[in-house]
A and B are shown apart, each in its own frame.
Chain A
Amino acid sequence: MGATPPRIPTGSWAGYQAAPEPLGTNPVERTPIQGVIGAVEAILRQPRRVMFQMKQPNAGGLIISLLAIAVVCSLVYGVVVGTFSGAQQYWAAPVKIACGMLISALICLPSLYIFACLSGSQARLAEMFGLVAGLMALLTVLLIGFAPVAWVFSESTHSVVVMGSLHLAFWFVAAIFGLRFLHAAFCHLNAKTSGGFQVWVAIFLLVALQMTTALRPLVGKSDRFLPAATEKKFFVQHWLDCVATDPTWNETPPKAPRQDAQN
């Protein structure tokens, strides 16, 4: 009792950030990634291998595999999203989610390349494209993991606001892991600062959130595939409007019968 705890060795402070080990140091990282299944395994368990292979001249096959993973996984998750409303949403939601994800990435890619150059990175545009494909692949693979949970809730509630919020929450968690992969790759691109990357992350999140509003409805029903030009709005306004009109959030509880009326 009263014993002095051992001294913490110097240089081992948990917050100390050692310089990242150069890519390709581990022989496993230098092994080419074959096929779509190999790409799924690598993006989940060996992200450094993906980053190293992206720097190689023949990275085209890997990039195509990652894009295919992203498209297929977003289509599958889109079907789950569509089960809430059924009917047209069984095909409309997957198409919109897959297209929206690809368009969001394409919109944000040029600015990511600019920020990378401004921070001193020597990365080529093709390499940045591949890393964004990796981000989307990881994000959508994680969404597949959330799909059973999302489906159970889809069958349990009639509230568009609740389901929309749940899907956004799952997407946000998946995006955190995807952006973490991209940030790790950014650190290996000889970038001197990460301030530009942080600004880009904010831009990417805003674009993705606005895309969900631009392509609405994803959850719920509508007579139109896309909103009319007169219905254009920013995503915050759309969320507020949804909360204001959702019956679950606005119905008044039935009044209990008065005791004296029965006497």
Chain B
Amino acid sequence: MSTHVIIQMSERASTMDVREVSVLLRGEPEPINRWIRTASAPRTALYVAVIVAGTGIYGAAMGCWRQPLQGLYTAIKFPLIVLLTTLGNGLLNAMLAPLLGLNIGFRQSLQAVLMSFTVAAAILGSFSPLLYFLVWNAPPLAAHVSGVYPIIRLTNVAVIAFAGTVGCARLGQLLGRLSDNPAVGRRVLFAWLTVNFLLGSQLSWILRPFFGSPDLPVEFLRANAFQGNFFENLLQALQQLF
């Protein structure tokens, strides 16, 4: 039975079909255009489930280098950041789209963002065994072995950047098709990425730590979670650098 027949059957049914995630990964235009135009609670639930599972498993791998408990905390916080960013910017994204030339409603803009995060989460989930393997082979964080922390940090940056880039690429392709104008699609994509980065970075600051520090206790949130912000910290780091 071909993938397309399966997708059509799932569209008529009221159940989730995990194989739809592979359609998102491939970026197949016809089924995706159809999905964005029709409301489907099971499909939305599937996206949320993939986001929670993919980012959760990856977050657990990130945090378990410090301690298993940190792994559990990060497994909870990573999906929270994605979902809170999506919901927090939902209204703003829905207002920006028509203002910039793409006439879609709140549900469609929310679904488009969820689709892109689903792609990114699927990629992160698939790389989580690799990250677990890397962390398992690394000397403990508390051992302060030189060179290990940069390797793990750079690996995480590379994987998250790759997943994010692919998610953004698929979102850009979708917005271009919805607007029939690649330039409009790019404008909307840039605007959405900017506001998502603004909110997402601050949520990451509040919900830290994700790796944990060997010199600090394992906590779900730092005591000063709501003091300061991501950009202040970035500016201070740049000032110290120069």
Contact = CB atoms under 8 A, between A and B. Distances in A.
Interface in B116-158: 122-123, 125-127, 129-130, 132-133, 136-140, 143, 151
Contacts of A106: 129
B166 interface: yes
7 contacts: A107-B130, A110-B125, A114-B123, A114-B127, A210-B137, A214-B136, A232-B136
Contacts of A210: 133, 137
Interface string A204-236: 000100100110000000000000011011100
A181 interface: no
Contacts of B36: none
B25 interface: yes
B26 interface: yes
B126 A110 contact: yes
A233 to B, nearest CB: 7
B137 A108 contact: no
Interface stretch (A7-15, A66-74, A116-124): A116-124
A117 B24 CA distance: 9
Nearest to A123: B22
Nearest to A192: B26
Contacts of B125: 110
A113 B126 contact: yes
Contacts of B181: none
B3 interface: yes
Interface in A121-177: 121-122
Given A117-B22, A234-B137, 18 more contacts: A106-B129, A107-B130, A107-B132, A107-B133, A108-B129, A110-B126, A111-B127, A113-B126, A117-B25, A117-B26, A118-B25, A120-B26, A122-B26, A203-B130, A210-B133, A210-B137, A214-B136, A232-B136
B126 A114 contact: yes
Nearest to B19: A124
A111 B130 contact: yes
Contacts, number: 53
Interface string B98-128: 0000000000000000000000001101110
A214 B140 contact: no
Interface residues of B, number: 22
**Main SS at interface, chain A:** helix
Interface of B: 2-3, 22, 25-26, 122-123, 125-127, 129-130, 132-133, 136-140, 143, 151, 166
Interface of A: 106-108, 110-111, 113-114, 117-118, 120-122, 203, 207, 210, 213-214, 229-230, 232-234
B206 to A, nearest CB: 30
A207 B138 contact: no
B130 A213 contact: no
Nearest to B119: A118
Contacts of A213: 137
A114 B130 contact: no
7 closest A-B pairs by CB: A110-B126, A117-B25, A114-B126, A107-B129, A111-B126, A117-B22, A232-B139
Nearest to B127: A111
A213 B139 CA distance: 13
Contacts of A113: 126
Contacts of A232: 136-140
A200 to B, nearest CB: 10
Contacts of A122: 2-3, 26
A85 B135 CA distance: 30
A118 B129 contact: no
A26 to B, nearest CB: 23
Contacts of B136: 214, 232
A114 B123 CA distance: 7
B26 A118 contact: yes
Nearest to A106: B129
A214 B137 contact: yes
Contacts of A111: 126-127, 129-130
A166 B129 CA distance: 29
B129 A110 contact: yes
Nearest to A114: B126
Contacts of B126: 110-111, 113-114
Contacts of B137: 210, 213-214, 232-234
